[in-house]
Structure 1
Amino acid sequence: MKIEIPEFALVLLVGASGMGKSTFASKHFLPTEVVSSDRMRGWIADDETDQSATGDAFDVLHFIVEKRLKNRRFTVVDATSVQPESRKSLVALARKWHALVVAITFELPEEVALARNAERPDRQFGAGPVRRQMLNLKRSIKSMGREGKRPRPSTRSWLT
C-alpha cells in the first residue's frame, strides 16, 4: 500500500492502544516530527502511562503542535484520537496555520491489540480501555473525512 501525505501537514495517527501507531511513526517519520501523548505524559509525570498526567500532557502536546505548525513543520500526533472531540482542537490548530490534516487510522482486530498490550509490561490495563477505544473509533470514522478536509498539494509517499 502506498500512502501519500502533503509536505506541510498535521498527521493524526488514530487507533486503539496496541494497534501499532508508535511503531508506524518510528518507521516512517523523523523522531522530531512525532509528538506523542505517551511521551508528553512521561515528561510531565516521569511515567508514560500515568493517566493522571493526561490533561497536562495534552496541554504540552497542543503547545508543541502549534509551535511546529506556526513554523511550517510537518507534524505527526501519536495519540489514540478515537473521538471527534479529541481531534477537534488539533484540526483547529492545523486550520489556523493553514496545514492540511491527514488521519491514518489503525483498525486491526481487537485480539491483536489485546495481545500486543498484554506483552507490554507498562500496558496492563485489561481489555476495557481497548474495547472502548475501538468502539469510539468505529462510531466516529464515518465523519472523520469531514473534520479537516482541504485540497491536497505536493506529497510525501512511501510503501507500507
Structure 2
Amino acid sequence: MRFEPGTLAVLIGVSGSGKSTFAARYPSSWTLCLDAYREMATDCAADQSATPVAAEIQDLLLDARLARGLTTIVDSTALMPHVRTKLLARARYWQRPTTAVLFDVPLDTCEAQNASRARVVPARVLYDQHRQLPTTQQLRAEGFTEVRLALAMVTAPAGPGR
C-alpha cells in the first residue's frame, strides 16, 4: 500500500489483527507506536499506566514529522473516536492528508494471531475491542481523507509474486 508523501496513516484495529506486521513493511522511522513508548518508559509494553507518557512522546514525534511533511504511520488500536479526533486535528494543523487503514479482521483470526504473540491480550479485551471497531463510513465522516481496508493483506497467504 502506497501513501501520498506526508500522509498521516492511522492503523485501526483489534490487538492481533496485523497492524504491527503491516507497519513493519515500511521504514521503521515512519512508525509511531504507543507500545514501544510504554516499554521505553516502564520496561513493559503492556503497562497501561504509562499510556499518558507514551501519548506525549507520540505527540511530540508526530508534530515533528508532520511539520516536515514526512509520511507517518501511527501503530495503535485507535479504536476510540477521541483518539482518532486528536490525530486528525494534528494532521489538519499541519495540513497533511490522512489515511485510515482499517483492519476489519474476524475476531477468531485476531484471537488465533494473539495466541501466538509474546504478549497475549486477554480474550475479553479482544472482544471489547472488536465491538468498538468503526466502519469505513464512520471513518470518512470523522474526516479521514482516505479509508483503506487491510483485511486482504492480513489474511491472504504469502505466495509467489507477493
The structure that is strand-richer by fraction is: 1
| Aligned pairs (5 A) from 1:68-83 | 68-83=65-80
Residue 29 (structure 2) pairs with residue 32 (structure 1) = yes
Identity %: 30
Residue 47 (structure 2) pairs with residue 43 (structure 1) = no
1:144 matched to which residue of 2? 139
| Aligned pair partner of 1:8 in 6, 9, 20 | 6
**1:8-32 deviations in whole A, cap 9, x for unaligned?**
11000110000000001102x1000
CA RMSD of aligned residues (A): 1.8
TM-score of the superposition, structure 2-length normalised?
0.84
Query: Which 5+ residue runs of structure 2 have no aligned equivalent?
Result: 147-160
Aligned length: 148
Cα distance between partner residues in 2 of 1:149 and 1:50: 30
Cα distance between partner residues in 2 of 1:67 and 1:52: 25
**1:26-57 deviations in whole A, cap 9, x for unaligned?**
02x10000001111111111111111111211
* Contact kept in structure 2, 1:84 and 1:144, CA below 8 Å: no
Amino acid at match of 2:15: S
1:119 matched to which residue of 2? 116
Report the CA distance between 1:149 and its aligned residue. Answer: 4.0
Report the CA distance between 1:147 and its aligned residue. Answer: 2.1
Residue 61 (structure 2) pairs with residue 58 (structure 1) = no
Amino acid at match of 1:30: P
1:156 matched to which residue of 2? none
Query: Which 5+ residue runs of structure 1 have no aligned equivalent?
Result: 152-158
Report the CA distance between 1:99 and its aligned residue. Answer: 0.5
**1:60-110 deviations in whole A, cap 9, x for unaligned?**
111111111011111110000012111111100000001101010111110
| Aligned pair partner of 2:97 in 92, 95, 100 | 100
Residue 126 (structure 2) pairs with residue 130 (structure 1) = yes
Amino acid at match of 1:16: V
C-alpha change, 1:150 and 1:113, in structure 2 (3 Å) is: closer
Moved over 3 A (4+): none
* Contact kept in structure 2, 1:100 and 1:148, CA below 8 Å: no
C-alpha change, 1:114 and 1:150, in structure 2 (3 Å) is: closer
